[in-house]
Structure 1
Amino acid sequence: MTKRKATALDVARRAGVSRSAVSLVLNGRANGNVTAERQERVLRAAAELDYTPNSVALSLRNQQTSTIGIITDDIVTSPFAGRLISGASRTALARGYMVLVVDTEHDMSRESTAAQQLVHRQVDGIMYATGSLREVATPAAMLTLPAILANCTDVASNLPSVIPAEVDGGRAAAQLLIDLGHRRITLLTGTLSSPAAPQREQGYREAMEAAGLGREQQHVHASGWDIDEGYRAASSVLGGSHRPTAIVCSNDRVATGVLLYAAAAGLRVPQDLSVVGYDDQQNLAANLVPALTTVALPHAEIGATAMSMLLDAVEGKATAAGHTDAGTLRVPCHVIPRASTATVPAE
């Protein structure tokens, strides 16, 4: 015979409290209404009876569906930034919410439709997340619900956003090499179409300036974002007689191109040349030979933080914007030291 599922009344009887007290405790509204001792009894009874509230009944009562919509540009259909969705999903699940993810594959015409459909399905809030840092035009339907942006900012500043601290990341990459004694450090910037590139360059220049290395000693070279572009950039900056002793790359794919060129040119990494990537891309950075020192983009933390802020807004604990400085929260980017960096080689 199937065991009968415990009810709130069963919990109330075991805890020796009223049915309404059980409801207040399990719905997070007990403080000021139920004593701490009775709250403990309710929680203990619920655990002993393996009781969980009926989510459908709660949704009807609270006029919420405990569902969050996530719109992405290409995160689901590309190999990058998947940790952002993982971080957001884990945070939502831990707080009793499910997520619906719609990936537009960079088709902007699908963004408005996706937002409208999520609103029609009565999600409690919407997150818009991008694989790479960029500005977005927020779909109008998102403004009708609690909403937040992850790894992107709103061109009209209508919504709060959670993004990586790219200036700090660029500064940390350069500082690591400076601390290892390097002074001839070249930055491969990527392309200025991404707002990340100038921010990382700003951090690089700030670290160089602080080390007494002025503009004439700062070497910035436009590269791109892919392996072949890294290879071509390396052939340009490493081909002269006064080559750098270290290179900071726009991302881990460009760093891969630099490592390939260095091997072809007979340069040993890190004995002759130190290389720093950016992203800590899964299945790449740690598996290169040598393993790549890199700046980790905190995708999981961005997703988790943005989801937590959004759920706070949904539950009325705070507005999402209340957690941010001027609508934007920046999550630190940390250096992951590995085998591709070492002290400056002897002249």
Structure 2
Amino acid sequence: MTARKATALDVAKVAGVSRSAVSMVLNGNIKGNVSREAQERIRAAARELNYLPNPVAVSLRNQRTATLGIVTDEIVTSPFAGRLVSGATNAALARGYMILVVDTEHIPGRDEPAIDALQHRRVDGLIYATGSLKPYSPTDPFRAQPAALANCFDPQDRLAAVVPDEVTGSRRATELLLQLGHRQIALLGGDDEHAALLREQGYRAAMENAGLSSRDQQVVVTGWDIDQGYQAAESVLQEPDRPTAVLAANDRVATGILLYAASAGIRVPEQLSVVGYDDQQNVAANLVPALTTVALPHAEIGAIAVNRVLDELEGGERRTERVLVPCPLITRQSTAPAA
């Protein structure tokens, strides 16, 4: 037979107080109406009886569900940015909230129904998160309650947006290669996506600060996948005056570069230094040699976005600025001083 769960009345009897006193203390609504001694007796009785307030009843009283909704375009179904949801979940749990996630898988027309479904379930706040950095225009219903954007931004800056500091991350990666004595540094960048343009901006800034003009800079558009990195490396590294270092669009492109270098007999890092971007889980640290890379702070982005929503929910003002989260440079074995 299943044991009967303790009730607030049971706690009241053990503590020698009224049921209303139990409700006030355990729901945080004391306001000086219950003595300190009685509060201690109530909490001790609740622990003894393993009593927890009914979450449904609490929600009915305060008109909140203690849940947040996250709509993503690919994060759950992709192995790349899952740390964003993990960081958001941990931040929410630390403040007594749960996360509900809907992944639209880039299927057109799914965003609004996903947002509607979460709002019908009375989530207390919303976050829209993307797998790659991009602009996103939130709808009026989305902005009607506490909300924030993660790894994307509103071009009109109507909501707080938490995004990686791509420019500084790329600049620091280039500066590392410059400090190692490299001057012939090529950027095998992505396509025309927002992140690729910012990473190119950081590369060019570092090169110019080192006195290297646009004629000394080499930017090749590659895409984002391993085979594209291999093809770009095959083109760039066959030149007589080839680069001594390469900054890759991401860790997958860097993987393609390493594969080509191995097939062509180019030793990494003795003859070629390679830097990736993303610190992709189960990839960058396990390559041979292990890849120096710039980490995308997905977990931090998720946590900050959750805390922005909860701060607003708990009475704070709506904040609409863009928060730039640092992208740490992780040095491994794929970089070395120029020969």
| Corresponding position of 1:110 | 110
Where 2:110 maps in the other structure, the secondary structure is helix
Supply the distance in 2 between the matched residues of 1:263 and 1:301 (Cα, whole angstroms): 35
2-structure distance, mates of 1:208, 1:39: 64
Unaligned runs of 5+ in 1: none
Which residue number corresponds to residue 338 of structure 1?
332
2:141 aligned partner: 141
Q: Is the counterpart of residue 261 in structure 1 residue 260 in structure 2?
A: yes
2:90 maps to amino acid: R
Q: Which moved more, 1:3-12 or 1:179-188?
A: 3-12
Q: Distance in 1 between matches of 2:336 and 2:284?
A: 17
State the distance in 1 between where 2:45 and 2:172 align.
Answer: 51
Matches within 5 A, 1:196-235: 196-235=195-234
**Deviation by residue 1:92-133 (Cα, 9 ceiling, x = unmatched):** 223222222111111231111111121122111111110000
1:106 alignment partner AA:
H
TM-score, L = length of structure 2: 0.89
1:132 equivalent in structure 2: 132
Shift of 1:26: 4.5
Indicate whether 1:244 and 2:238 are aligned. Answer: no
TM-superposed CA distance for 1:208, in Å, is 2.1
Rate the CA distance shift 1:221–1:121 in 2: closer, same or farther, 3 A. same
User: How much identity, in percent, do the aligned residues show?
Assistant: 62
Matching residue of 2:71: 71
Would the alpha carbon gap of residues 177 and 23 (structure 1) be closer, same or farther in structure 2, given more than 3 Å must change? Answer: farther
SS of 2:123's equivalent?
Answer: coil
Partner Cα distance (1:23, 1:71) in 2: 35
Offset, 1:139: 3.3
The CA RMSD over aligned residues, in Å, is: 2.6
Where 2:270 maps in the other structure, the secondary structure is: coil
Equivalent residues of 1:119, 1:141 under 8 A apart: no
Task: Provide the C-alpha distance between the structure 1 equivalents of 2:238 and 2:41, rounded to a whole number of angstroms.
Answer: 73
State the Cα distance separating 1:180 from its structure 2 match.
1.9
Per the alignment, residue 89 of structure 1 pairs with: 89
Aligned to 2:317: 319
Q: Structure 1's 26 and 315: CA in aligned 2 closer, same or farther, altered over 3 A? A: farther
Letter in 2 for 1:170: S
CA distance in 1, matches of 2:303, 2:57: 27
TM-score normalized by structure 1?
A: 0.88
Amino acid at match of 1:270: P
1:30 Cα deviation after fit = 6.0
Pairing partner for 1:328 from 303, 322, 332:
322
User: Is the counterpart of residue 166 in structure 1 residue 166 in structure 2?
Assistant: yes
Judge conservation of contact 1:172–1:335 (CA < 8 Å) in 2.
Answer: yes
CA displacement 1:149-190 (0-9 Å, x = unmatched) = 110012333221111111111112112212222222111221
- Determine the C-alpha separation between the residues in 2 that align with 1:118 and 1:160: 20
Conserved? CA contact 1:127–1:149, under 8 Å: yes
**Which amino acid is 2:332 matched to?**
R
1:286 is matched with which residue? 285
C-alpha distance after superposition, 1:167-224 (max 9, x if no partner): 11111211221222222211122111x1111211121222222333333322222111
Query: Which one-letter code corresponds to 1:310 in the other structure?
Result: V
Task: For residue 71 of structure 1, give the secondary structure of its aligned residue in structure 2.
Answer: strand
Provide the secondary structure at the position in 1 that maps to 2:131: strand
The alpha-carbon distance between structure 1 residues 214 and 95, as it changes in their structure 2 partners (threshold 3 A), is same
**Higher mean displacement: 214-223 or 241-250:** 214-223
Q: Distance in 1 between matches of 2:208 and 2:42?
A: 60
> Separation in 2 of the partners of 1:12 and 1:175?
66
User: Aligned residue for 2:52?
Assistant: 52
Cα distance, 1:263 vs structure 2 = 0.8
